[in-house]
Amino acid sequence: MAEKEAKSIDLATLEMIDKAAQDGAHVVFERAETTRPCPIGAEGSCCSICAMGPCRVMAPKGKQETLEDRRRRVGVCGATPETISARNFVRKIAAGTASHGDHGRVVAKFFLAVAKGEAPGYEIKDEQKLLQLALDLGVTIGDRSNKDIAVDIGNLMINEFGKQEGELLFLRRAPLKRQEIWRKNGVMPRGIDMEVAEAMHRTHMGTDQDYRDLLTAGVRTALADGWGGSMIATELQDIIFGTPAPVLSSINLGVLAEDKVNIIIHGHEPSLAEMMATVCQDPELIEYAKTKGAKGINLAGMCCTANEMLMRHGVPIAGNFLQQELAIVTGALEAIVVDVQCIMQGLVDTASCYHTKVITTDARAKIQGATHMPFEEHNAYESAKAIVKAAIDNYVNRGKNVRIPKYKQDMIAGFSHETINYLLGGMFRASYRPLNDNIINGRIRGVAAVVGCNNPRTPHDASNLIMVKELIKNDVLVVQTGCMAMASGKAGLMVPEAAKEFAGPGLASVCEAVGIPPVLHVGACIDNSRILMSTTAMVKDGGLGDDISDLPVAAAAPEWMSEKAIAIGQYAVGSGVFTVFGCNFPTTGNKEVSDFLFKEMEEIFGGMWAFEPDPLKAAQLMIAHIDKKRKALGIDKARERVLYDMAMRRALE
Amino acid sequence: MSKIIASAAIRGAYKIIERAEKQWREAMDKHGANEPVGFPNTAYYLPIIYGILGIKVEKLGDMEQVLKRCRALLPPPVRESHPLPYLAPALDAGMATFFAEEIIEAIRYLEQPNFYLKGEDITENNIWLGAANDVILRKRGIEFVDGTAPGFAAILGAAPTPQIAAKIAQELQEKNLYVFMAADYNGQRFAEQLIQAGVQIGWPTRLVSFGPDVSATVFAMGFATRAAMSFGGIEPGDFRKILIYNKDRIFAFALPLGYVTDEWYANGAGAINWGFPVIADTPIPEVLPSGICTYEHVVSNIPHDRIVARAVEVRGLKVTVTEVPIPVAFGPAFEGERVRGDDIYLEAGGGRTQMVEWVTSKRMDEVEDGKIEVIGPELADVPAGSRLPVAIAIEVAGRSMQEDYEPILERQIHHLINYAQGVMHIGQRDIAWIRVSKQAVEKGFKLRHIGALLHAKLHQDFGRIFDKMQVRIYTETDKVKEIVEKAREVYRTRDARIEGMTDETTETYYSCTLCQSFAPSHVCVISPERTGLCGSYNWMDCKAAYEINPTGPNQPVPKGNTIDGRLGQWQGVNDFVFKASRQKIDHYNFYSIVNDPMTTCGCCEAIAAVLPLCNGVMTVNRDYTGDTPCGMKFTTLAGTIGGGLSTPGFVGHGKYNITQRKFIKGDGGLLRIVWMPKMLKEEIAERLKTRAAEMGAPNFLDMIADETIGVTEEEILPFLTEKGHPALGMEPILG
C-alpha cells in the first residue's frame, strides 16, 4: 500500500493503475519510474541553446569551489551558470506565456467572429460583462448595439497581441500603486506576442547575459500572460459562454457511465467543448446512440477544458491531468477528444489496448496515431456533431474488459470574480467588503491560491491535499484553479459541508454565513487571471493596504509540471504575491538566480518565489507570510468594537 | 446567513410574494390598472420600491413590473445537502419581500382607506398608524439628523408579558431610539402590550405602532429609505448608495420577539441589506461574521433584560445617557408625551395660573452649585388636580458665562422638563405651561426634581460656559409675580439687543454642520440676520455651542472680504463652505433665492420658491401639506432641493427668517412674498406686520395670497393685482 500511495492518494487512480498493469497498458505512473529526471536539467544547469554545447555547469557537490574553479564553470561561450539558469527560466516563462497567449488570441478572434455573427450557434451571453469590459476599455456604449460594442472590443483585444508600443490595456485595472511599481521597473508589457518574441531573443545565444536583467524582463513577459493573454481569454470567454456562477456537479472516474456512450473532452480551449455540450443534448444523436445499444451520451471533461465546462454547465469531470490515460483504462471510453496543452502523447499507446478513439481537433495539436477531426468554428455544430457521431459509432467496439471505479464526489464550482462579489452581498449590496471585513477581524486569516498541475514526481494529489487542509485548518480561505482544484474536488473539500469538518472555526463561520465551501473553485489555469482581479478587488475595497503586495495572501503550485506554471508563478510574484512551488524547482542549481527569485524580487516587486517540496512546510511558509502581512497592516491583534456616536457619523465621507 | 435562516427566508419570501400577487390580481379585477395607489401624503410613492428600483408606483398597473422583479429575484429553495451559496440569494429574497409587502400594504390602503390612522397619534378605536407621511418624516427626520434620535428598533411580535414589553420600550426610549412595531406572536402584539401596561404610544413618544401584520415592517424600512433620499440627497434607484447610507448613518436594528416564522426571516434578510442586524430573544441560528452589517448579522437567544444593550452593541451605536437624579425616566423620547384630564396632578401656567422661567447670571460667590429650593407648596402639599403659580428662577455663575448665554440656557428648560416621563411642558418665558401627571407623582416626582434635572442636564451640556448653578422654584403667588416682573424687564433688554445686531457689523459668522451625519455635503453658515433654516439655531446659539464644544459642528467663520454685499457673499464664508462641503459647493449667497442660494439638508422649516408669473416669491412651511403655486407640495420641494444642493429659484429658510431684515434682500426682500399658507401667515402675523411697516407697507399681510385665494400662479395673480402687491412693480425677478 505504501508503494501505491507513493503514486496517488486517489483511490480511483490506484484502481486503474492496477487495471492498466493487468491489461498491459502503459501509463504515466509507470513511465515516471522508468524514465528518471535528468539531474542536470532538473536544476537548470544545462544550456542547449547553441550547437557549441550542450554545456553542463553544475556546482560541485559537497566541496568548496575555488575562485578559479568558479571562473572555469561556464559554457563554451563563457555564459555563467547564472546566465544559463536565468535563460532557461525565462524561456519557460516565454513558452508558458506563448501558450496562454495563443489561447487568448484564438478566443479573441473567435469572439470577433461571434460579434460579427460569423460563428453560428454562438452569441453574446453575458451582456453585463460586455458592458463592464467596454467601460474598462473605454469603448463607447451610448445607444450602440451589443454587437457593435463587441466588435470594437474584439478588435481592441486582437490588437493587444501584435501591439508594438504602449501598455497592455488590462494593466490599468491593477491597483495604481502596482502600476507605478511596474512602470518604475520598466516591466509594463507592450504587446503579448512582442514580449514572447523579445524573451526568446534575449535568451538567444549571446544576447542578454545579466541574470537580473533577464529575470526582470521575465516579469514583463509573464505579466503579458496574467494581465494579457490569460485575462483576455477569461474575459472574452465569459462574455460569449457566460460568466460562471455556482453549480453543483461531480468529479472522478466514477462519472463515466456503464451504459452510455462516454466521451471525454480534454485540453484547454472551451469553444469546441461548449459546442460538444450542446451537441450531446441533440435528440437526434441521443437516438442514434440508442440504435447502437447505448442508453445515451455521457460527456465528461478532463483538465482545464473540463473546468471550463464544469463552471459554466455543470458537466462532470472525469479527473485531472494524471488521470487522462486512466479514463481509457476503464475500457468504457468511446472517445477522448482533445484540443491543446497537457495532452499526453501516451494516450495513443494506452488507447491501443482498448477501443477508445483519440481524436485531435486543433490544427496546432496533432498526435501521431490519433484521428484528426478538425473543429471548425464557422461550422461548429456540424464539426462537433461529426466527432460525437464517431464516438457513438465506436460504442459497439466496447469490449468486455470494462471497470469503472465507483469513486465520484460531489463538488461546487463556478466562483468567478463577479460571482464572489455577488455572493458576498447579494444583488443590492454586492462587494468584497465582507471578505475584507472578516480578514480584518481575523475570522479569515488570509487567502491562498493553490493552483497548477499534477506531477508524477510527487504522489498524485497528495501535496495539494496536505497543503490545502493545513491552510483551511488555519482559517486561510483557499481559491483554486486547474488540476489542483480537481484534486480538492475529489477529496470532498469543495462542498459547503467541508467547512465544518476541515476549516478552522473562523473560516468555517464565514463559510456557513455565505454558504460556500472553504475551498473555492475559480476555474481553469487561464482563470488565474480571475485571482488577479479578485486581489485587485480586495485592494480596492479598502482596509487591506493599497497594493496587492499588502494583502495577507499567498500562492502555491505544489504539484506543478508545465512551463505555463512558471509563467503563472512569475506573474503572480511580479504582481506582488508570495508564491511557493513544490516538487522541484528549475533554478536550484544556482544560488544567485535562486536568491534573486526568492529574496531580491520581494524588494523590487513586493512578491517573491519560494521552493518547498514538503507541502506541510510550504503551507506554513504561506501562513507565515500571511501573518507577516497582517502584522504590517496592524490587523494581527483583535480590535475593539467601535461604537459610533453622531460626531463620528458626521466625520464619515 | 446560516443555511437554516436562508432556507426559511427564501420560503418566507415565496409566501409573501405569492400573497402579493394574489391580492394584486384581485385588486386589478376589481379596480383596473388605472386605479391610483400609494401611501398617504408622500412624494416618495412606495418608498422602498421607489428608492431601490427607482420605479414610481402610482397606479395598480404599475405594480406588475415590480411583481415581475420580485419573481426574478426569488432564488430556488436551498438544497438540504450540498447547497449552493445562499447568503446572496437570501438577501435578494429579503429585498423582494419588502417590494411585495409594500404592494400588500398599498392595496390595503386602497381597499380599507381607514385601516390606518393619518396622524401622529393613536385613537380610542385604532392604534395602527401606518405609513409615516412626509410631514412626520421631516419633523422626525430632524431628530435623526441632529442626533436626538440615533436610530430605531423594529420590533416584531410580542414580549412574554406587557410588563416586559413596557420595560424594553422604556429602555429603548431612554436610549433615545424610536420603536417601530409590527406583527404578532401568538396573537399578541407589542404595541397592544404597551397599551395594556399603560404606556402612551404614538409618534410623540417614539413608540410607533405601524401595523398589526408583519408586512407593516415596510413602513420602518420605507422611513429609512426616504431618509437616505431626503436628507442624504441620494437619487431614487441608486440602491447601493441608499443602502450604504443606511448602514453608515441610520442606527436601526430588528428585534423579533417570539417564534421567528419564515415570513419574519424573510423580513430580517431584507433588513440586513440596509445594514440593520437582527437580535432575537429565541434560540435561532446566529450569523456572526460581519460585512453586510457593521458587526454581527444575527444574534440570538438574548434575555429580555439584556436585549436592548446587546442590540445597541451589535449595531455599533454609542448612546450617551445622562443619569438624571429623578424618580422617573428621562430622555427625548418622553418629550412628546401628553398629560391630560384625569391624569393631571398639578397644572401651572397655560392661562390658568401664572408661570415664568428665567435664567440670570450672578457673581461666583452668590451661587451655591446644586442648591435647589422650593419656596411655597410642594406637590405633596397639594391634592391631585391642583393648580399653582410657578416661577423657575435659575442663577448661574462662571468665568466663561456671558449675559448672551442666558436666553440659550433658558430655552433648554422647555425640552429638558419635557424629557421627564410624566411631565408635560409647553411654551417658554412668561407663557410657560406645565402639567405633572399622577403617575409621575406616584413614582415620587416632586417639583424640586425639576431643579435637579435642570441642574444635571445644563451642567452636562453647558458645563463649559458656567461653573455653578442654583435653582429656585416659587409656588407662591406674590413671589411668582415678583419674578415675572423682573424677568419681563430682562426679556425686553435682551430682545432689543439681538434685534440690534446686523450682519454688516458682525465679522464672525458661525457654521452649522450638525446635519452632516445625514447630509454629508451640506453646510449652513449662520449670521445674525439669517438664522438657521431648521429654525433651531440662531447666531447666538451657534456662538455658545462653539464655546461649549470648540471642535464641534459649530465653528467660527470669519466672513472676510465682501464679494457681494447685496446678495450676501463673502470670501471667508466661501472658503469655509468649500472645505466643509467636501469640495461640493464653492460659494453661495445669503440673501438671494435667484442667484446661487444657500444649500439645505432638507430639514428646513420652510421653502421659498420663485413665482415668475407673479414676479414674486412664495414660501411654504413644513406643516402645510397642500398644493402650492409653484406646482410642488412642501415635501416634493424638500426632496428636490435637499441633500446639500444649491438650487437657483429655491431656498430653504427658517420661519423666523421671513421677518428678518435680510430675508431675500438681494431679490427685493420680504415685499417679494406673494403667497404663503394661511397657517404660516397667522403664525408670524405680528412680526410680519412690524417688518412690513418698516419697509413702508403696513397692510402688506393682507396682500399676500394664500390657499384660500388659490394654489396656482394664475389663480393668485388677479388677487395680487387687485391688492396692488408691491412685487408686481419691482424689476423682473428673473433678470
Can you list the alpha helix ranges (DSSP code H) found in A242-316?
A: 270-279, 283-291, 303-313
Interchain contact B327–A (C-beta under 8 A): no
pLDDT band at B731 (very low <50, low <70, confident <90, very high): very high
Give B89's contacts in chain A (Cβ within 8 Å). Answer: 426
pLDDT band at B1 (very low <50, low <70, confident <90, very high): low
pLDDT of residue B638: 84
B104/B130 Cα distance (integer angstroms): 12
Give A438's contacts in chain B (Cβ within 8 Å). Answer: 289-291
Q: Is residue A338 domain-shared with residue A457, that is, in the same domain? A: no
Residue A649 lies in a domain: no
Cell numbers linked to A583: 516538487
The DSSP code sequence of A351-418 is HTTSSPEEEE-BTTB--TTSEE----GGGHHHHHHHHHHHHHHHGGG--S--------EEEEE---HH
> Nearest residue of B to residue A412 by CA position?
B84
Contact A14/A4 with Cβ under 8 angstroms? yes
Q: Which residue from B115, B374, B404, B56 is spatially nearest to B236, judged by alpha carbons?
A: B56
pLDDT of residue B618: 96
Q: Is residue A259 domain-shared with residue A210, that is, in the same domain? A: no
Per-window interface: B 222-241 vs A, CB < 8 A: 239-240
| Percent of chain A clearing pLDDT 90 (strictly above) | 94
Q: Which of B82, B310, B518 to mutate to test the interface with A (most CBs of A within 10 A)?
A: B82
> Nearest residue of B to residue A444 by CA position?
B289
Cell numbers linked to B126: 385604532
**pLDDT greater than 80 at residue B536:** no
CATH class of the structural domain B508-729:
alpha beta
Work out the minimum CA distance from A255 to partner chain B, whole angstroms: 18
Domain positions in chain B are: 3-315, 332-500, 508-729
User: pLDDT (tens digit, 9 = 90+) per residue, A478-501?
Assistant: 999 999 999 999 999 999 999 999
User: pLDDT (tens digit, 9 = 90+) per residue, B422-437?
Assistant: 999 887 788 888 999 9
User: pLDDT (tens digit, 9 = 90+) per residue, A101-127?
Assistant: 999 999 999 999 999 999 988 999 999
A49/A214 Cα distance (integer angstroms): 15
Chain A residues whose C-beta sits inside 8 Å of any chain B C-beta: 246-248, 410, 412, 422-430, 433-435, 437-438, 441, 443, 495-497, 509-510, 512-516, 641-650, 652-653
Give A652's contacts in chain B (Cβ within 8 Å). Answer: 248-249, 517, 520
Residue A403 lies in a domain: no
Q: Is residue A361 domain-shared with residue A223, that is, in the same domain? A: no
Strand ranges across the sheet with B673-675: B650-653, B606-611, B616-621, B673-675
CATH number (2.60.40.10, 1.20.1250.20, 2.130.10.10, 3.30.1650.10) of B332-500 reads 3.30.1650.10
Residue A467 lies in a domain: yes
User: pLDDT (tens digit, 9 = 90+) per residue, B455-490?
Assistant: 999 998 888 888 899 999 999 999 999 999 999 898
Mean pLDDT estimate for chain B:
92
User: pLDDT (tens digit, 9 = 90+) per residue, A37-50?
Assistant: 999 999 999 999 99
| Percent of chain B clearing pLDDT 90 (strictly above) | 72
> Nearest residue of A to residue B143 by CA position?
A646
Judged by CB atoms closer than 8 Å, whether chains meet at B92 and A426 is answered as yes
Establish whether the linkage from the previous residue to A54 is cis, with ω within 30° of 0.
Answer: yes
Judged by CB atoms closer than 8 Å, whether chains meet at B289 and A652 is answered as no
User: pLDDT (tens digit, 9 = 90+) per residue, A350-366?
Assistant: 999 999 999 999 999 99
> Nearest residue of B to residue A433 by CA position?
B291
Indicate the residue of B2, B297, B520 with minimum beta-carbon distance to A653: B520
B461/A101 Cα distance (integer angstroms): 69
Report, as an integer, the average pLDDT of A97-101.
Answer: 97
Q: Is residue A337 domain-shared with residue A376, that is, in the same domain? A: yes
Q: Is residue A100 domain-shared with residue A210, that is, in the same domain? A: yes
User: pLDDT (tens digit, 9 = 90+) per residue, A433-464?
Assistant: 999 999 999 999 999 999 999 999 999 999 99
Work out the minimum CA distance from A518 to partner chain B, whole angstroms: 12
Secondary structure in 3-state letters for B686-713? HHHHHHHHHCCCCCHHHHCECCCCCCCH
| Fold of the CATH domain B3-315 | Rossmann fold (3.40.50)
Indicate the residue of A423, A646, A650 with minimum beta-carbon distance to B88: A423
Greatest extent of chain A over all pairs of C-alpha atoms, in Å: 80
Report, as an integer, the average pLDDT of A162-169.
Answer: 96
pLDDT of residue A333: 98
> Nearest residue of A to residue B287 by CA position?
A513
Give A247's contacts in chain B (Cβ within 8 Å). Answer: 84
Least confident of A78-87, B5-14, B104-113, B688-697: B688-697
User: pLDDT (tens digit, 9 = 90+) per residue, B591-638?
Assistant: 999 999 998 877 788 999 999 999 999 999 988 889 999 999 888 888
Q: Which of B177, B231, B288 to mutate to test the interface with A (most CBs of A within 10 A)?
A: B288
Residue A462 lies in a domain: yes
Q: Is residue A453 domain-shared with residue A591, that is, in the same domain? A: yes
**pLDDT greater than 90 at residue A200:** yes
Judged by CB atoms closer than 8 Å, whether chains meet at A429 and B290 is answered as no
Give B87's contacts in chain A (Cβ within 8 Å). Answer: 423-426, 513-515
Work out the minimum CA distance from A428 to partner chain B, whole angstroms: 6
Give B240's contacts in chain A (Cβ within 8 Å). Answer: 428-429
Q: Which residue from B180, B275, B232, B250 is spatially nearest to B51, judged by alpha carbons?
A: B232
Interchain contact B276–A (C-beta under 8 A): no
Give A427's contacts in chain B (Cβ within 8 Å). Answer: 73, 88, 91-92, 95
pLDDT of residue A637: 83
Residue A101 lies in a domain: yes
Least confident of A191-195, A287-291, B230-234: B230-234
User: How many residues belong to chain A?
Assistant: 653
The DSSP code sequence of B449-510 is HHHHHHHHHHHHHHTTT-SEEEEEEE-SHHHHHHHHHHHHHHHHHHHHHHHH--STT--EEE
The pTM for the full model equals: 0.87
pLDDT band at A2 (very low <50, low <70, confident <90, very high): low
pLDDT of residue A4: 62
Q: Which residues, in sequence order, are CB contacts of A486 under 8 Å at separation 6+? A: A251, A306, A307, A317, A319, A320
A529/B204 Cα distance (integer angstroms): 58
| Percent of chain B clearing pLDDT 70 (strictly above) | 99
Q: Is residue A100 domain-shared with residue A166, that is, in the same domain? A: yes
Report, as an integer, the average pLDDT of A387-410.
Answer: 97
Secondary structure in 3-state letters for B308-377? HHHHHHHHCECCCCCCCCCCCCECHHHCCCCCCHHHEEEEEEECCECEEEEEEECCHHHCCCCCEEEECC
Judged by CB atoms closer than 8 Å, whether chains meet at A515 and B86 is answered as yes
Which DSSP state fits B727?
G
pLDDT band at B492 (very low <50, low <70, confident <90, very high): confident
How many domains does the structure of chain A reveal? Answer: 4
B697/B682 Cα distance (integer angstroms): 18
Least confident of A102-111, A277-286, B291-300, B545-554: B545-554
Q: Which domain holds residue A309?
A: 247-397
B51/B55 Cα distance (integer angstroms): 8
Interchain contact B520–A (C-beta under 8 A): yes
Amino acid at position B458, single letter: L
Report, as an integer, the average pLDDT of A540-567.
Answer: 97
**pLDDT greater than 60 at residue B409:** yes
Q: Is the ipTM of this complex over 0.85?
A: yes
pLDDT band at B407 (very low <50, low <70, confident <90, very high): confident
Interchain contact B87–A (C-beta under 8 A): yes
A306/A268 Cα distance (integer angstroms): 8
Cell numbers linked to A631: 502584522
Coil, helix or strand at residue B283: coil
pLDDT of residue B728: 93
User: pLDDT (tens digit, 9 = 90+) per residue, B172-210?
Assistant: 998 889 999 999 999 999 999 999 999 999 999 999 999
B684/A297 Cα distance (integer angstroms): 86
Phi, psi of A569 (to 5 degrees): -60, -45
Work out the minimum CA distance from A194 to partner chain B, whole angstroms: 42
pLDDT of residue A3: 65
pLDDT of residue A469: 98
Give B297's contacts in chain A (Cβ within 8 Å). Answer: 513
**pLDDT greater than 70 at residue A5:** no
Report, as an integer, the average pLDDT of B24-45.
Answer: 96
Work out the minimum CA distance from A305 to partner chain B, whole angstroms: 23
